[in-house]
Structure formats: C-alpha cells, structure tokens
Structure 1
Amino acid sequence: MKPNEGYKQARKLLKERFGNNFMVAEAWIKQITEGDPIRTNNPQGVRDLADDVKACVEALRAMDMLEEIDSRCRMVKLVSRLPLYIQGRWRKEAQRTVEITGKYPHIVKFTSFLETVAKELFDRCLELLNRKSVEANSSACGGLENGTSKVSLPIVTVLVRGKGQSDFVRTNALLDHGSNKTFCSVELVNQLGISGQPASLNLKTLNDGKDMLVEEVYLEVMSTVVKRKCREILCLPRVYALNDFPELRSSVATSADVYRWNHLNDVLVPHRQNVSLLIGQDVPKGLMPIEVRRGKDGEPYVIKTVLGWTINGPLGNISEDLHMASACHFVYGKSDSDISLEARVEQFWSIDTGQVLAGSVPELSVDDRRVLKVWNGSIKLKEGHYELSIPFIDECPNFPDNKSLALKRLLYLKKRLSEDTDLHKRYTKEVNKLFDKGYAECIPSTCNTEEGKLWYLPHHAVSNPNKPDKLRVVFDCAAECKNTSLNKNVSQGQDLANKLLGVLLRFRERNIALMADIEAMF
C-alpha cells in the first residue's frame, strides 16, 4: 500500500473507532453520571466533579450535542452523586427556576452552581486551616485531628443482655442527650447472639442524612457499680443496630485523667473499651440526673444516673503526640412509624427528583443478607446445573406429619382426572416432563427420613383461559398442616425484579432494548 493511501486508511479507521460523535458524547456523559457518590467530607471530590462537568459541557457544546446531557434522567443521576446537603441546595435552586421560567434548569446553570459550591468548600477549608484555635473534626474539609485538649463524654460501663436472656455482656454506653433514638453496634448484637425485626430508619446528623435498613432489637441494661441485689434493670424496647457505629474510645475518661480533680476522686471511670451502645432521649430514665458534682469553672463535672456516674467536660491538656478528634454526636432518627404526613409526602415527591429515577438497585434487608449468606456458602455446580440450599428461617426446621393432608388432596385430584379423560392425558404428559428433564425423581421405598424433616407437597392442575392449550402442574407450597406450611418456614429472599420506573427511563437511553423470559419455573 502506498504511503498516501495508508495515511488515508489510517485516518478513516481512527474516525470510525474514535471519531463517532455519539460514542464520544456517551463516553463524556458516562464519566460524570456513573461513579461513586461523593462523601460529605470530600471537598476535593466535589471540585473534581465540577471540573469534569465543565469539560463535558464544553465538549458536547463543540459537537452540538449538549441536549444529550439535558435529559431529566441523566441530570438526576448526576445530582445523586453529590452529598445530600448539596443535593438539597440544588433542588431549592431548581425549584426557584421552575417557578420563574416554568422549565427545569439547563446543564449550564448546574455547572455554574457546582463551581460556586466547590469554591465555597475550599474557601471554608482554608479558613479552618488558618485558625490557631483548637482544631475540630469538620465535615466540610475532611477532618482535622491534631487537637490539644481531651473532652470526656457521658460514658458509663453497663451490663447488657437481650430480652429473655440470663447472661450479660459488659460494654460501654454513651448517654446521649442529643439523640432522639437508642442505637447499638451490630457487633454487640452478634456478641449477644440475638436477632430482631428489620426496620427502615431515616438517620440525620448535623450535616448529613440518609435512609437505611437496620435491625430493631430489645435490650436490657443495668449498672455495674451498684450492689447486684440493688441493681435496677433498664429496658430498651427499641434499639437500632448500626453497621457504622461511631468510634468513641478516645472520649472515655481514664484514671490518669481524673486523679487531679478532688471532686472526682471516688468516681469509678469506665472500662477501657470501645462504646457499643448509645442511649438516647427515648429512654429518659437512663439519662435523668440523680446527683450532680461540679468543680471550678472549666473543670469537668460528674452526673449520677441509674446506670452509674458519668464524667463530662474537658479533662485538661494532652500530649502533643496524642491525636484527639472533636465531634458533635447529635443524632436524629426516624423509624417508619415516626414519619409524619409531611415527610411521607416529601418522600412521594422525591420519586420525581431523587435517586429512584437513576437506577433500580434494591436495598437489602437483614433477612435478605442472611439468605444471600446461605446461598453463597452452599452453591455448587452439579451435572451442569447450579444447586443451592433452601434458605430455611430456622436452620433445623421441624415439620409435622402432613402425609394425610397430601393423600386427601391426591384423592381429590384423582377423582377430577378420572372424570376428564383429556385433562388426565395432558396432566400425565406434564408430570412425565418433570421426570424427563430431571426436575423430579422417584423416592426409593427404602428411604428413611428423620422425623420432622419430611414434607409432602400437594399438586394440582392450573390452566390459563387465555392459553387453553397450556397446562401447568402447580406445587402448593402454601398448603398448611397444624398451622404451618413450607412457605412459612422458608425465607422469601431478595426481590430481584427491576423497578418499572427505572426500566422505562433506561429504555429511552439506548437505541436497542433487549427482553427475555424464563421458559419454565416451578
């Protein structure tokens, strides 16, 4: 090939592979819409996203394809990557624009908004870095942890157990006057070996908020310093177990911290261990002061509660090589039963502007996670098919003998088939298919099954009026015997169905849509 022709062919090939405007536009849009959410304490992430959005807008404008990013669905995906408090600011800005112009803001306006927010965050960080006072943990710029003073939080050592248990576990508890709910760590729940009910919780702190699925448990606590006969058990009926429980070990007072204060000499300090329980204002008896001791101005004070003495306030200077992080532990949580009508209306309208439009990733409940753990631990490939264990609610279910019920249903089916020859032939054909395809197998007459481990499944014929030629053999897993059934003993598992709203929106994003169906299921 001549050099001139080779050069032309090379340019043509490059244009086909990398010069297609649609492909280039999709690559730019994917870069800014498909990525991890930016955390509240990551101003650099906001700055980087602002730069990427600006570059994307300039590139699409040069190709005259700016309308590709202006779709509502893609804008929602883009906004959902921002921290919640920035999302709130943008929604207010968008609402004002809609009220004035009647149209949703253009991507150019969003780019300008994002650049302004990024500049504000960096200006705030510079201001905090230039301060010479005590440095504190700031969500605006990622945390500054070289403090010069230790502050004790109201933490007390307690004994905790689950409802109905006899053995206690020793841990530290924070008596938090700034929380309207009571929380514990998932590690504490696992240590106690208890389980609770799944619950939906809206958790808010001073500068962040999110919805989460948690486990609600019932706990009982009592003091470790009072004589055992005089100890009073404090009931915590609604405790929410959190995966990300705050690390508060550095806020626990030690003997070395309090020896210098005369009014603290006889006060027992908490055990040197982490905090795994946070008791909020929903348990006022646990926070109510019985006695207060105070020293001079600026000195720590102690409060006596039913759970013991708590040390509060500054404990003096600490060594320069010890890092202390100052933080506010204000926590505001709302469970499903606490959500007001106004909040529910807000949740309803958030469907139009929130993350629901962006995708269809289902949230996992506590039960869903347990089922996935069972499946992941039991999956195996057998004769070309994957085999998984049945996710029983109890690891060792105990079924009653339902053979008489199954025989009664079988006799009814036999009578029905004997009265309809055509139905008999079709039903026999479908049952034989189950054996031919390996879905069912004959049980040997010598098969011995442990008592409580056998369950008979009744079956019957079901036909669809719209498909009269098709007959299905349905196994009745809901058939009950002695107030139990197979369905009642097996976890449902995760809902894998895509949300229809997300499907319809994604249907408009590409040129070709694929659809599939399951051939058979029983």
Structure 2
Amino acid sequence: MCAPLRGMRALDDPHTIHLVLKKLPAYVTDRWKRLVDTRVYGATPSYPTFTDFVELVATEARIACGPDQPERKVVTYALLDPQSDASFVTDALCDALHPEATEVELELSTMNGRKILKCMSTSGLVVESLENGEKVDLPTLYSRQEIPADHTLIPRPETCLKWTHLHQVADKIPVPQSDADIGLLLGVNCPRIIKPREVIPGEEDDPWAVRTLLGWGIVGLISKSEPKGCFYVGSGDERKKVPRM
C-alpha cells in the first residue's frame, strides 16, 4: 500500500518554490509568475502546487535541450519595424548561426547621399518565442554590421512601474539578458511576428505596451530626454535600398 509522505507537503509552500526559482533562468520564473497569476485570479482561486511547478520546469527543460540544432541556437533581441519592408540580421548573429548565405548588393541611402554596399542574403533561419515557444520561419534576411537601435530602449520591468497604465504588464516584461544583443530587425515581410495582438495605449503622449507573437514590448519615449537618432529601413524592387534618416 502506497501513501503520500507527509513531509513532502512542504514542497507546496510558495516560499519553498520561490527558493528553487532563484536557481532557474529568468524566463522560467516569468512563466511561473504567469501561471500563478492565472490560478490565483481565476474562477476558483488557488496557488499552483509543486506538481504544477515540476511539470512546468520539465516542459521548459525539454524545449531548451531539444531544439533541431542545439549548437546553432542563440538568444537575441529583435527590433520590430512596421516601416521596413525588408528584414535584417547582424553579422555577429550570422557568424554564430552559420545560415545559408549568398552575396548581394544593397543601396544605402542617408542624408549625405547613396552608396552601394555588399552584404549577405541569408535564408533558413527560424525565430522562437521565449514567451510561448512558438516558432516562425523567417523570410530572407540581409546582413548588416549592426542593427540601428538604442539599447537603452530595451524594455525592463521597472520601466513599466513609471507609468500607471503599464503596471499590468510589468511582470510580463522579461528581465534584460545581459549577454543578448539586438541581432534582428524584422519588417512587414514578417507580418505574423510584428502584427499587434493587444495594445495598452495610455494617455495621448504616453508610451504604450504592445503584445506580439514574441511577447510584450514598450513603444515610445520612456524618459523626458530627446531621442538621439531616427532610423528607417526599406527596400526597392531591383537593387535593395536601405534609407536611413
């Protein structure tokens, strides 16, 4: 006859689970918080059990350890740009992933004129959401030395706490990954990825929160300082054109 061990009930204690969470990656903690929120504020409020916790960790471990090509999987930030009709990848990310690539020419337009640049056209890359594990095949990407984006604009949980209307998504914004760079710029040729699924607008001049397939992000100026630059990316029909303002 089998019977549960009384002492094991201590594992259902939220404090015990919290101690274990401290040793796990931040994105696992974020997903556990979402599960807790769903259960606590659901139709029949209750805190998830240790069994629920084990099942979640087992699922995340399976996803992390079982990709198609685990040695060619990199965590990176993506800039979602609805004003761009082309998508780009950094040279550093290409070096890490080794995708199929061919050399092409880009026509770069700036305030000082236009010039022709050689770059690589890559294919076969897949993006995976750390939010829900959903995978999307990316279109052709063009390599650039860097993505023109300000790293200070990467959303942080504490950023949401500065704005009342963003408090509700503070626990849905992942903690910044110090070892992850901005490696992708995804334009309107990735509609499934950049399409807004939910928007929290706030007042007229406030920053707003947007949920896409990749999770929640913050759009707009999050401080009173003036922006240091403005960037726009596009492409032409024949030779690829990339204007930057």
Q: Do both share a fold (TM > 0.5)? A: yes
Q: 1:290 is matched with which residue?
A: 197
Indicate how the Cα distance of structure 1 residues 205 and 284 shifts in structure 2: closer, same or farther if over 3 A, else same: farther
Per the TM alignment, residue 259 of structure 1 is displaced from its structure 2 partner at its CA by 1.2
1:191 is aligned to 2:191: no
**After superposition, what is the alpha-carbon deviation per residue over 1:332-359, rounded to whole angstroms, capped at 9, x for unaligned?**
234xxx318xx9xxxxxxxxxxxxxxxx
Q: Distance in 1 between matches of 2:161 and 2:79?
A: 22
Secondary structure, in 3 states, of the residue corresponding to 1:189? helix
Q: 1:80 is matched with which residue?
A: none
**After superposition, what is the alpha-carbon deviation per residue over 1:452-511, rounded to whole angstroms, capped at 9, x for unaligned?**
xxxxxxxxxxxxxxxxxxxxxxxxxxxxxxxxxxxxxxxxxxxxxxxxxxxxxxxxxxxx
Q: 2:156 is matched with which residue?
A: 254
1:236 is aligned to 2:138: yes
Task: Trace 1:82-481 onto structure 2 (pairs within 5 A).
Answer: 165-166=69-70, 167-205=72-110, 208-218=113-123, 219-226=125-132, 231-265=133-167, 266=169, 267-269=172-174, 271-272=176-177, 273-317=180-224, 325-334=227-236, 338-339=237-238
* Residue correspondences, number: 167
Q: 2:8 is matched with which residue?
A: none
Q: Which amino acid aligns with 1:311?
A: I
**After superposition, what is the alpha-carbon deviation per residue over 1:116-174, rounded to whole angstroms, capped at 9, x for unaligned?**
xxxxxxxxxxxxxxxxxxxxxxxxxxxxxxxxxxxxxxxxxxxxxxxx63452101000
Q: Distance in 1 between matches of 2:111 and 2:199?
A: 28
Q: Distance in 1 between matches of 2:205 and 2:90?
A: 33
Per the TM alignment, residue 244 of structure 1 is displaced from its structure 2 partner at its CA by 4.3
**After superposition, what is the alpha-carbon deviation per residue over 1:90-129, rounded to whole angstroms, capped at 9, x for unaligned?**
xxxxxxxxxxxxxxxxxxxxxxxxxxxxxxxxxxxxxxxx
The RMSD of aligned alpha carbons is 2.7
**After superposition, what is the alpha-carbon deviation per residue over 1:385-420, rounded to whole angstroms, capped at 9, x for unaligned?**
xxxxxxxxxxxxxxxxxxxxxxxxxxxxxxxxxxxx
Secondary structure, in 3 states, of the residue corresponding to 2:138? strand
Per the TM alignment, residue 280 of structure 1 is displaced from its structure 2 partner at its CA by 0.9
- Which one has the bigger strand percentage? 2
Q: Which amino acid aligns with 2:216?
A: W
Q: Distance in 1 between matches of 2:206 and 2:220?
A: 7
Q: Distance in 2 between matches of 1:244 and 1:300?
A: 25
Contact 2:139 2:189 in 1 (8 A): no
Per the TM alignment, residue 250 of structure 1 is displaced from its structure 2 partner at its CA by 2.2
Q: Which amino acid aligns with 2:99?
A: I
Contact 1:204 1:333 in 2 (8 A): no
Secondary structure, in 3 states, of the residue corresponding to 1:286? helix
Q: Distance in 2 between matches of 1:245 and 1:281?
A: 16
Secondary structure, in 3 states, of the residue corresponding to 2:211? strand
Gaps of 5+ in 1: 1-163, 319-323, 344-522
Gaps of 5+ in 2: 1-67, 241-245
Q: 1:50 is matched with which residue?
A: none
Contact 1:224 1:307 in 2 (8 A): yes
Secondary structure, in 3 states, of the residue corresponding to 2:95? helix
Indicate how the Cα distance of structure 1 residues 311 and 260 shifts in structure 2: closer, same or farther if over 3 A, else same: same
Q: Distance in 1 between matches of 2:149 and 2:206?
A: 25
**After superposition, what is the alpha-carbon deviation per residue over 1:51-70, rounded to whole angstroms, capped at 9, x for unaligned?**
xxxxxxxxxxxxxxxxxxxx
Contact 1:217 1:240 in 2 (8 A): yes
Q: Distance in 2 between matches of 1:234 and 1:206?
A: 35
Contact 2:85 2:233 in 1 (8 A): yes
Contact 1:182 1:239 in 2 (8 A): yes
Q: Distance in 1 between matches of 2:154 and 2:202?
A: 19
Q: Which amino acid aligns with 1:309?
A: W
Give the % identical residues: 27
Secondary structure, in 3 states, of the residue corresponding to 1:295? coil
Indicate how the Cα distance of structure 1 residues 306 and 234 shifts in structure 2: closer, same or farther if over 3 A, else same: same
Task: Trace 1:28-107 onto structure 2 (pairs within 5 A).
Answer: none
Larger Rg: 1
Greater RCO, CA 8 A, separation 6+:
2
- Which one has the bigger helix percentage? 1
Per the TM alignment, residue 295 of structure 1 is displaced from its structure 2 partner at its CA by 1.2
Q: Distance in 2 between matches of 1:205 and 1:189?
A: 25
Q: Which amino acid aligns with 2:238?
A: I
Secondary structure, in 3 states, of the residue corresponding to 1:196? strand
Per the TM alignment, residue 263 of structure 1 is displaced from its structure 2 partner at its CA by 2.9
Per the TM alignment, residue 247 of structure 1 is displaced from its structure 2 partner at its CA by 4.8
Secondary structure, in 3 states, of the residue corresponding to 1:250? helix
Per the TM alignment, residue 245 of structure 1 is displaced from its structure 2 partner at its CA by 3.6
Indicate how the Cα distance of structure 1 residues 289 and 207 shifts in structure 2: closer, same or farther if over 3 A, else same: farther
